[in-house]
Structure 1
Amino acid sequence: MGTDPGIDALYHHRRLQLVRLAVLLVDDLPTAEDVVQDAFAALYRRHGARLAHLDDPEAYVRRSVVNGARSVLRRRRTVRAYVPERAGHVPPPEEDVLLREEHREVLGALRALTRRQREVLVLRYWSDLTEAQIAQTLGVSRGTVKSTASRALDALARRMEGSR
């Protein structure tokens, strides 16, 4: 981001990456965009336009996005507890055009993982974060990240083998 530690530079350099992260966590583009926008708005309200006093503004906003995604998922779970679930999930029509069969299988298998497993894999393989960065983002130990990733990859492999 250069020498300008401002929120504008952070927004322009990382917004798209954070939206992609949020989409993989909440499985909905408009909601993901809202989560990222809310994270930046909260960052601005709390710290203003200049972020020089923050040690790692990027990690701060990434953690805000993950926490925002968790909140969205909690609200969804609460709503589903009181409203009957609709019969079957119909994917958007563009999904068939944009994704080949194996991509849909991988995304389906990823959705079947637990929330934490999905978060660890998305942060590791989509966002290319280190174990330490993932641990910091999720507020867990590196050992938890390692064991969660291992279990998630095993579950993903079993699911993919079962679908073939």
Structure 2
Amino acid sequence: MQYSIPASPPWWSRLLARMSPTEDTPTRGRHLRALGTPYHDEPRPTLTELYRARRLDMVRLALFLVDDLHTAEDVVQDAFAAVCRTHGTSLDGLQDPAAYLHTAVVNAARSVLRRRRTARGHTPPHEGYGPPVDEGLLLAEEHRQVLDALAQLTRRQREVLVLRYWSELSEAQIAQTLGLSRGTVKSTASRALDALEKKLEVVR
């Protein structure tokens, strides 16, 4: 059976797209390239340039994966720290710093979810901190149903859909980020789309 990720985005992806920046951030480094555009002989961005240009995007990405803003911010801090430990602040050893950062954020989110499952097996749920002042930007009410539905998917399904329809990665980029084959990405996306559409039928 052949699977493919639809080229035309489903209706709910427009809600996710509205949470993405509408224009380039003014702090973008002069060497920073789009995701999937590797560097060759050109200078790489520094870790500071990458942080200034990508931090908010990565917080939003992590938010879709862990469904908690405070945790998402911690995930991104951990991901940047991991990049720094491995490659230093110059990032000279990275062909595609933005793609590497995406993978670091996904891996950090997975670690958080594993710890969360373990903790919930031993302690009752507790009230979180109050929402920060910028949560309205990240968690507008109209997005809540989409986020709730995404949270009900399997981890892999959620990762594939978020990377495809929010981060706008190609099948090949998703496969590289998640360590999967392109065929697995296609089949996972197809099943995830079916599951998500069923969960969101009531809000069409």
Question: What do residues 7-56 of structure 1 show as CA deviations (whole Å, max 9, x unaligned)?
Answer: 11111111111111001101111111111111111211221111122111
Task: Give the distance between the partners of 2:176 and 2:184, measured in 1 at CA.
Answer: 11
Residue of structure 2 in register with 1:123 after alignment = 163
TM-score by length of 1: 0.86
The Cα shift of 1:161 comes to: 2.3
The Cα shift of 1:98 comes to: 2.7
Decide which of 114, 128, 140 is 1:98's aligned counterpart: 140
Is 1:107 matched with 2:108?
no
The Cα shift of 1:114 comes to: 0.6
Higher helix share: 1
Q: Which runs of no fewer than 5 residues in structure 2 stay unpaired?
A: 1-29, 32-41
Matches within 5 A, 1:1-164: 1-2=30-31, 4-5=43-44, 6-85=46-125, 98-100=140-142, 103-161=143-201
The Cα shift of 1:61 comes to: 1.5
SS in 2 for 1:158: helix
| Displaced runs of 4 or more, over 3 A | none
SS in 2 for 1:129: coil
Task: Give the distance between the partners of 2:148 and 2:80, measured in 1 at CA.
Answer: 30
SS in 2 for 1:159: helix
Letter in 1 for 2:60: R
Contact 2:66 2:113 in 1 (8 A): yes
- Alignment length (residue pairs): 159
Q: Which of the pair has the greater relative contact order for Cα pairs under 8 Å at 6+ separation?
A: 2
Task: Give the distance between the partners of 1:98 and 1:118, measured in 2 at CA.
Answer: 20
SS in 2 for 1:83: coil
Identity %: 65
TM-score by length of 2: 0.70
Task: Give the distance between the partners of 2:144 and 2:85, measured in 1 at CA.
Answer: 39
